[in-house]
């Protein structure tokens, strides 16, 4: 059953990598750019996407990555490329194991509030969240007159067969 999730998560990881690779070529002011309706700057949104994946990982496995995804200082694009690589490996490994989408999960928010959900919801959120925020970054780039990379599933499929 997990085989049906390989392509969505591989696309997610590919899109993260492709966008980070593209952002390596941007200047500091471009990385600080934002637009109304977006989460924040290009850099803060990238950190948010990968930080959320770290949180989903902890909800599913109880394990947080070693990198500081909640720090006050924004990391460099190159540092986040390492985060994205680690998350891609995590998703790939997770999907080789049996997953019960109905499995109940509980996690605590920073304020101590407990939340309940199912594993299938966390997996769905991981895909949706990344896509939504990568599109916000593409909108920011477009408003700056920069043609963003094609992060569509079709582009992923064309590149990866």
Question: How many other C-beta atoms lie within 10 A of the C-beta of residue 94?
Answer: 18
In the predicted model, is pLDDT for residue 32 greater than 70? yes
CB 13 within 8 A of CB 95: no
110 is in which domain, residue-wise? 3-160
Which pLDDT belongs to residue 68? 83
Q: Does residue 132 register a pLDDT over 70? A: yes
pLDDT in tens, 62-85: 898 888 888 788 999 999 999 999
Q: How many domains does the chain have?
A: 1
Q: Are 130 and 88 in contact (CB under 8 A)?
A: no
Q: What is the pTM of this model?
A: 0.94
Where does 83-158 show beta strands of DSSP type E?
104-108, 114-118
Tokens representing 97? 């194991």
Average pLDDT over residues 120-146: 97
Q: Report helix, strand or coil for 110.
A: coil
Give burial (CB, 10 Å; 0-12/13-18/19+) of 43: buried
User: What's the CATH number where 23 sits?
Assistant: 1.20.120.450
What one-character-per-residue DSSP string does 68-102 give? -SS-SSPPPHHHHHHHHHHHHHHHHHHTTS---TT
Report pLDDT digits (tens) over 94-131: 999 999 999 999 988 888 899 999 999 999 999 999 99
Burial class (CB in 10 A: 0-12, 13-18, 19+), 100: exposed
């Amino acid at each position: 059953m997990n085989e049906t999730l390989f392509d969505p998560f591989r696309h997610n990881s590919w899109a993260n990598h492709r966008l980070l690779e593209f952002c390596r070529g941007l200047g500091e002011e471009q990385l600080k750019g934002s637009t109304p309706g977006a989460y924040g700057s290009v850099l803060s949104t990238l950190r948010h996407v990968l930080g959320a994946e770290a949180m989903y990982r902890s909800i599913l496995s109880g394990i947080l990555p070693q990198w500081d995804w909640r720090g006050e200082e924004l990391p460099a694009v190159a540092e986040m490329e390492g985060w994205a690589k680690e998350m891609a490996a995590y998703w790939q490994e997770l999907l080789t194991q049996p997953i019960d989408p109905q499995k109940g999960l509980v996690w605590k928010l920073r304020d101590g509030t407990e939340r309940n959900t199912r594993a299938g919801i966390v997996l769905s959120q991981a895909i949706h969240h990344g896509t939504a925020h990568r599109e916000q970054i593409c909108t920011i780039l477009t408003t700056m007159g920069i043609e963003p990379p094609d992060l569509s599933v079709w582009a992923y499929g064309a590149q990866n067969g």
